[in-house]
Structure 1
Amino acid sequence: MAVQPAGTPCWADAMFTDLEAAKRFYGDVLGWTFGETSSQYGGYTQAYADGKAVAAVVPTVPGREDRSQWCLYFASPDAAATTAKIRENGGEVLTEPMRVSDFGTMVIAREPSGAVFGVWQGDAHEGFEAVATPGAYCWAEVFTRAPEKADAFLSGVFPYRMKEMADGHVDFRLFDLGADPVLGRMRMGEEFPPEVPSHVNVYFTVDDCDAAVARAAEKGAVLRFGPMTSPFGRFAALTDPQGVVFSVIDVTFTEGETPDFEDA
């Protein structure tokens, strides 16, 4: 696997109060299987789709149960340098650059509008072994109540080119690396309860959105939005039984014309 450009989403993990329940839930909904739980790394457990590493789950740290959420990591060739940029652009470093054996170096940070994310300087573990296939990561969007802060921060830390939706009816931007969009940013409106903070919404690929939603609901998830068909696929937003937000998308089921974007 080639080294990915800085700012490329490259990994996702989440903390859960009940790790075994999380494994059962995501195994049923996304078809994941799991590797051995590593006591050396705090119970970190990799998830696999069709034999390829696609995410990880880990027990919550005592006293930090409120931090249960999917954390998206962005690739960096130099975690220390990216950490400096995070601070220079008004972000908060929650976990300083930390070497994880020979796997790589991680950083956890919060952008100025409140969304938590990770930085990963890969070594033996470079990141996702599959994307945009059933069970694997596909896409992510930063949902924020202060888009100006988020936009300035993200484009200051990573070499993104920003594009905004041309019709102006929706405050949504794409962040590109070269010709390929790698991340979206959506302004949170009144449809989001005030207690919902800015966050990164991670999308996992499924081969049938409606069937995945039905499986999730049967296992205790709450449907937040959708299923809805778009030019990018049929998707839905869910909250899992432990309160962790995520989305599912069937990228093969599309409808409508792709909206126009212009340089921001």
Structure 2
Amino acid sequence: MFTDVEGAKAFYGDVLGWTFGEASSEYGNYTQAYADGKAVAAVVPPMPGQEGQSQWCLYFASEDAATTATKIRENGGEVLMGPMEIGDFGTMCLAREPSGAVFGVWQAGIHEGFDTMGTPGAYAWAEVFTREPQKADAFFPAVFGYRQKQMEDEAIDFRLYDLGERPVLGRMKMTDDFPPEVPPYINVYFTVPDCDDAVAKATKLGGRLQFGPMGTPFGRFAALTDPQGANFSVIDVTTTEGELPRTTDVS
């Protein structure tokens, strides 16, 4: 969601190699983004009442958006919009989990979501950044059926949410390194062939480097803020470093 959609297209087109479809005036000027011809994201102007800082919104798949909306409310979350049908494409709602991070829910119609993941320019991973991890840890498993594993690392409070045996989302406790005015949010990672090159492109175009580049067992990544204030990360999943951390099942 970007105040300056054309600016976002120019920035992410250069940093992530995206191309864009035509804006759909019927659906709030929704503009599909493509990497190598495959749908990987979309850019839209702010919805009425949502004007403010530009931001990325991750949508979680649901077989029934209305049922998920009910679960969100029953577990202390807030439904901000919907559920509403978007033509034949699907049904959406926007919500806020109890610790403050905003996310979407998507019940697929003819638009199922990502055409590809983990390839250059595409979605790779996401993490809930929150100052109240206990609230997120109670909410997401209750709503989406996740199992939980705590990372055994005294330096950070990090948890994995698994769908069956597959990790699908991380949860990171925000430390005092985050300015108090930064609200909880879901940080989205996009795949790049070269992390350092992506950082160089982003900063040259007015983006700000927040952390990294850093090598990890999952890939070399960096956290960035784009020129409009939207936070995101880039990761080269082909360049890994170190051993995978130990985790403890807490579900």
The interval holding the TM-score normalised by the smaller chain is: over 0.9
Q: Return the match for 2:190 from 204, 207, 222.
A: 204
Quote how far apart the aligned CAs of 1:67 are: 4.7
* Partner deviation per Cα, 1:233-261 (whole Å, 9 max, x = no partner): 00000000001000000000010000011
Tell me how far apart the structure 1 counterparts of residues 182 and 42 of structure 2 sit (CA, whole Å): 24
Q: CA RMSD in A?
A: 0.9
1:92 is matched with which residue? 78
1:106 is matched with which residue? 92
1:65 is matched with which residue? 51
Quote how far apart the aligned CAs of 1:262 are: 1.1
The normalised TM-score by structure 1 is: 0.93
Tell me how far apart the structure 2 counterparts of residues 131 and 175 of structure 1 sit (CA, whole Å): 18
Structure 2 unaligned spans of 5+: none
State the 4+ residue runs in structure 1 displaced beyond 2 angstroms.
61-65, 166-169
* Partner deviation per Cα, 1:106-161 (whole Å, 9 max, x = no partner): 01000000000000000100000000000000000000000000110001101100
Aligned pair 1:189/2:175, yes or no? yes
After TM superposition, the structure 1 = structure 2 runs for residues 148-163 of structure 1, keeping only pairs within 5 Å, are: 148-163=134-149
Range with greater deviation from structure 2 (67-76 or 100-109): 67-76
Q: Return the match for 1:76 from 62, 74, 91.
A: 62
1:140 is matched with which residue? 126
* Partner deviation per Cα, 1:75-132 (whole Å, 9 max, x = no partner): 0001000000000000000002000000000010000000000000001000000000
1:5 is matched with which residue? none
The normalised TM-score by structure 2 is: 0.98
Q: Return the match for 1:226 from 212, 216, 220.
A: 212
Tell me how far apart the structure 1 counterparts of residues 186 and 177 of structure 2 sit (CA, whole Å): 17
Quote how far apart the aligned CAs of 1:217 are: 0.6
Identity across matched positions, percent: 72
**Number of equivalences:** 250
Tell me how far apart the structure 2 counterparts of residues 70 and 88 of structure 1 sit (CA, whole Å): 25
CA contact (8 A) 2:53 2:230 kept: no
Quote how far apart the aligned CAs of 1:179 are: 1.2
Aligned pair 1:17/2:20, yes or no? no
What residue identity is the alignment partner of 1:228? M
Quote how far apart the aligned CAs of 1:17 are: 1.0
CA contact (8 A) 2:53 2:228 kept: no
* Partner deviation per Cα, 1:13-62 (whole Å, 9 max, x = no partner): xx111111110000000000000001111110000000000000011235
